[in-house]
Structure 1
C-alpha cells in the first residue's frame, strides 16, 4: 500500500501511529496527538539503520513491529488532515520508506483512557525481507550495538533512551521488558567504556 493511496478525495483526516522516534520527534505538522496502543504487534529492536542512527560499517538498531496475537504496542497517534496529511506522508515516505525500508499498514489504534471505538491508523513496519532487517539477538548484543552506533540523526543511544523515557513518562502502567532490558544493557556498556577512559 502506498501512503498517498490512503488519502482518497473526501477522506478527511488520517491518523499516523508512531512507536519509535515518532513518539518524540514527529517533525511534521499535525492537528492533535493521542497516546495509546495497537494490538497484535510487539515492538522489537530487530531492524538495522545505516542512515539515521548508524552507517554501513556499523548499523544501528531501531524498532519495528512483529506480529503477535497476544501483544500490544504503545505509542502516539497523530491526526493530520488536508495539506498537513499530504506533507506528512511525503516527508514520512522519505524518512521511513526510502531511507528506513519500512512498509505501511492500516491498524486499529486505541487511545488511552477512552471508551470509544478504535480509530484506523497508518503504521510503518519493517519486515524480515528487508535488506536492513537484522532480526533477533540478545539484549546484551543489541545494547552493545546501540551503545556504539551513530548516524546522521545522532547517536543510536539517544533513540533508545528517548523511547524508554517516553514509555516511563507517558505509559507508566506498561512494562516493556524488551525495551528496558536493552536500555540497561546499553547503559552498562557505556559505563564500562567511560570507566576504561579514566
Structure 2
C-alpha cells in the first residue's frame, strides 16, 4: 500500500481531529469547535477488528477504518463502489489540553490504529467565523492500516452483518455502533450517507427482525407443538436472544 499523499510528518499549529466512526456522536473531551465535512482519498469500511468496547478478545467485534482509495481499488470488494467524500466531523481541541486529549485517544483508539494527517473540507454553509482560514483544515485521523493485524480486508456483507449482530462488548452490542454511525452520518448532510454502512445496517435490521420473530410467543408455541409431535414443523427449534434496543447508551469507553 502506498502512503496517502496527504499524510505529513509535522503537526499543524492548531490541533484538529477528524472523526469518521463513533467520534461523530461520541466526541473527545476539551474541544471548542465541531464542524461537519469530509476528507478525500479514502474509503470507509467495517474491516477493523475491535477487542474492546464492542467486542472481546475471545469474540472480537467490527468497527470502521479508512483505507487508502488506491489500495482499495486493487481489492475485490463485494461493495464495489464508494463515495468520493468520506463524511465525518472535525473537532478543534483546546491548545492547553492537546496532550491530555491525545492520551485519551491513544487509549480509546486502540487495536492497531495509526496516526495520519489529512486535509479536512468543511461542509458548505459552515460559518466562516469558526474556521481558522479559508480552504481545507489539516486534521489528525486514526486509521487501521492493512499492515496491522486487526485489519480483516474484504468480507462477505451478509457474513459481516451476522458477525456484527452477534458481537457484544463492555460498551454494548456491536450493532448499536453500526446503527449509531448510520444515524449520525445521515444527520450531517443530505449527501453524507455511506452505502456500505447503510447496506450493513439494513442487513443487521433484517437479522434482528428475524431473530425477534423466532423468539416471539407465537413461534415458541408452535415450536412446543412441533417438539411434542403435535405439529407439522421441523422438530429442530432454536431459541434466539431478543435483539437489544437502539436506545441503549451508545459508548462507555474506558479512559484509563
Task: Quote how far apart the aligned CAs of 1:6 are.
Answer: 5.8
**Structure 2 equivalent of residue 101 of structure 1:** 112
Distance, in Å, in 1 between the alignment partners of 2:153 and 2:69 is 15
Q: Provide runs of 4+ in structure 1 moved above 3 Å.
A: none
**Structure 2 equivalent of residue 153 of structure 1:** 171
**Structure 1 equivalent of residue 201 of structure 2:** 183
* 1:1-198 alignment runs, 5 A limit: 12-68=13-69, 71-96=84-109, 99-113=110-124, 116-198=134-216
Distance, in Å, in 1 between the alignment partners of 2:87 and 2:168 is 25
Per the normalisation by structure 1, the TM-score is 0.89
Query: What stretches of structure 1 of length at least 5 have no aligned partner?
Result: none
Task: Quote how far apart the aligned CAs of 1:76 are.
Answer: 0.3
Relative to 1, partners in 2 of residues 1:148 and 1:123: Cα closer, same or farther, differing over 3 Å? Answer: same
Quote the RMSD (CA, aligned, Å).
Answer: 1.8
Larger Rg, first or second structure (1 or 2) = 2
Relative to 1, partners in 2 of residues 1:87 and 1:43: Cα closer, same or farther, differing over 3 Å? Answer: same
Query: SS at 2:69's partner residue?
Result: strand
Task: Quote how far apart the aligned CAs of 1:93 are.
Answer: 0.9
- Equivalenced residue count is 189
Distance, in Å, in 2 between the alignment partners of 1:130 and 1:156 is 21
Query: SS at 2:146's partner residue?
Result: coil
Distance, in Å, in 2 between the alignment partners of 1:171 and 1:164 is 12
Distance, in Å, in 1 between the alignment partners of 2:171 and 2:140 is 23
Per the normalisation by structure 2, the TM-score is 0.69
